[in-house]
Structure 1
Amino acid sequence: MPEGHTLHRLALDLTDAFAGTHPRVSSPQGRFAESAAIIDGRLCTGAQANGKHLWLEFEDQLLHIHLGLIGKFSLAPPAPPRGEIRVRIASPELAADLSGPQLCVLRTDAELRAQLAKLGPDPLRPDADPDLAWQRIRRSNRPIGALLMDQSVLSGVGNVYRAEVLFRQRIRPHIEGNRLKRKSWQAIWDDLVWLMPQGVRDNRIDTVRDEHTPEAMGRPPRVDDHGGEVYVYRRSQQPCLVCGSRVRTEVLAGRNLFWCGRCQRRS
């Protein structure tokens, strides 16, 4: 499932492509044809993201999208649709094709706000309040490694950022929320506010500090279909880049957790 930086980057790209235009909106697959007809040709004022939710603004209607596990939004010059395209948004120069979304629905502004109110704060949004997440964390006996993946606690953080921010702050992923120190939570939040905009800018996740890059360490670059230089994510049984001990893995909150037992001892 895409992490929050991917959705924010997509929102920027869609805004660049369609804001201030009257794009044609269709449903080649047919499943969204009735709703597509409502916004077809209306003025698009841009796109926004909050966590893993994305929406495009068409006057008084909002096209609300959640990609889920298999959803994709591709942006390319117009060509005949290929595959099961739920929605196509097109100008003479570009076509944005949406396939396989978990959610694709028209909403009013009030309906969308009610939906987003269920989410935790998003480190990529300037209106985010980290104290809202802290109040939920400090009352919970669930592990911080699970809480960071709970979108009602914190919005937009997925498996990669979860593993990497806990490593960078040397925090044990199994420590219960109600045992986490306030300053540790602030360090997590501040680090996400630093890391995630870089992901939006570069369209990939890089989390290693300068002294741990391939160039600085004289090691080969990471080869992984997720891309990016990371400390522990998908590096099970490989040497920790900091201490050399083996990176560990287990399943936590339904996802593979990666961490270093020697480096991550803080609570």
Structure 2
Amino acid sequence: MPEGHTLFRLAREQQLLFAGRPVHVTSPQGRFEAGAALLDGRPLDEVYSYGKHLFARFGGDSLHVHLGLYGTFTTGAGTPPPAKGALRMRWQGEGPDGAGVWTDLRGPTACEVLSVPEVDRILDRLGPDPLRPRSDGTRAHRRISGSRTAIGALLMDQSVLAGVGNVYRAELLFRHGVSPFRPGREVDAALWVAMWPDLVTLMRAGVRMGRIVTTRPEHRSRRSGAVRREDAHYVYRRTGLPCRLCGTGVRTQVMVGRNLYWCPVCQAG
């Protein structure tokens, strides 16, 4: 499932290409036909993300998209290709330079038109998004510190933190030597004060690079130049491979429906 940095980049791209101008909205597949008809031809005010949710505001109505596990956006310039298959929604318009632009949405978990109160209800149930300006990390810690649930599960709970997924979960915990099985109430304020800004930095780097890189230069096979795919992470998808710090084999098991990765030595206790 795309994590928060991906949705942030998508929102920024669509804001640049479509905002401030009328958008032609269709649903070739037909599953979003009524919503497309409601939005078609209206000026797009803004596009923004919050966690793993994307919102496009057309006056008092907002398009809400959640990509889920299989949703994808494809964007291009000029004339779009013939609509084929399960194409839930297509946008077409004039880009900032007057040339034609389009974007296609396939396979989302959610694609719906919501009113302002309905959007507010979604936002109210989400925890702080590390990518939002002035986001309050202490609000997340209040939830974490009051829970007996494992921190590895809490970090995946979007009502605790919005936008964090499986990669950031595994890598953040490793970078701070925290066992994913530690109860949330044992993550004290001093530890969280270190973890929160690190998470913000990692996710902002993900926005900038368009990929998740969590390793420090000294822990890669080469310290300069582009980061190789095999050097990008400490533990994520490295089951059985030696830990970059201690050499112990990385372990994995399922937690809250997703594969969890950790080093039993560097993240002991």
- TM-score of Structure 1 vs Structure 2, range by shorter chain: over 0.9
Cα offsets for 1:3-44 (capped at 9, x unmatched): 111000100111111011111001001111111111111111
**Inter-partner Cα distance in structure 2 for 1:221 and 1:3:** 20
1:260 aligns with 2:267: no
Match status 1:240 vs 2:243? yes
Post-superposition Cα deviations, 1:102-135, rounded to whole Å, max 9, x if no partner, equal 1111112221011110011110011421121111
Q: Does 1:11 align with 2:11?
A: yes
Which amino acid is the alignment partner of residue 84 of structure 1? A
> Structure 1 residue 183: deviation in Å?
1.3
C-alpha distance after superposition, 1:175-218 (max 9, x if no partner): 0011111111222211111100111111100000121122139x
Q: Work out the CA distance in 1 between the residues paired with 2:118 and 2:72.
A: 24
In the other structure, the counterpart of 2:203 is 196
Q: Following superposition of structure 1 onto structure 2, how do residues 90-169 of structure 1 map, counting pairs within 5 Å?
A: 90-92=92-94, 93-169=100-176
State the SS of the aligned residue for 1:21.
coil
RMSD (Å) for aligned C-alpha atoms: 1.6
Q: CA–CA distance in 1 between the matches of 2:112 and 2:134? A: 25
- Give deviations 1:123-170, integer Å, cap 9, x for gaps: 001142112111111111010000000011111000000000001111
Tell me: CA distance 1:113–1:127, structure 2 relative to 1, closer, same or farther (3 Å).
farther
| Identity across matched positions, percent | 49
Q: Secondary structure of 1:235's partner?
A: coil
**Residue 73 of structure 1: how far off its partner (Å):** 1.1
CA distance, structure 1, for counterparts of residue 52 and residue 190 of structure 2: 26
CA distance in 2, matches of 1:214, 1:156: 29
TM-score by length of 2: 0.93
**CA gap 1:156/1:201 in 2 versus in 1, 3 angstroms:** same
C-alpha distance in structure 2 between counterparts of 1:47 and 1:116, whole Å: 15
Match of 2:87 in 1: 85
Instruction: In structure 1, give the amino acid aligned to 2:232.
Output: E
TM-score by length of structure 1 reads 0.93
Whole-angstrom CA distance in 2 between matches of 1:212 and 1:81:
46
Partner of 2:64: 64
Matching residue of 1:37: 37
Unaligned runs of 5+ in 2: 95-99
List 4+ stretches of structure 1 deviating above 6 A: none
Q: Which amino acid aligns with 1:162?
A: R
Name the CA distance, whole Å, in 1 between partners of 2:257 and 2:81. Answer: 39
Structure 1 residue matching 2:126: 3-state secondary structure: coil
1:187 to 170, 187, 194: 194
2:97 corresponds to: none
Q: Which amino acid letter does the alignment assign opposite residue 250 of structure 2?
A: V
Q: Distance in 2 between matches of 1:60 and 1:81?
A: 29
* Structure 2 residue aligned with 1:170: 177
Distance in 2 between residues matched to 1:40 and 1:222, nearest whole Å:
41
Q: Which runs of 5+ in 1 are unaligned?
A: none
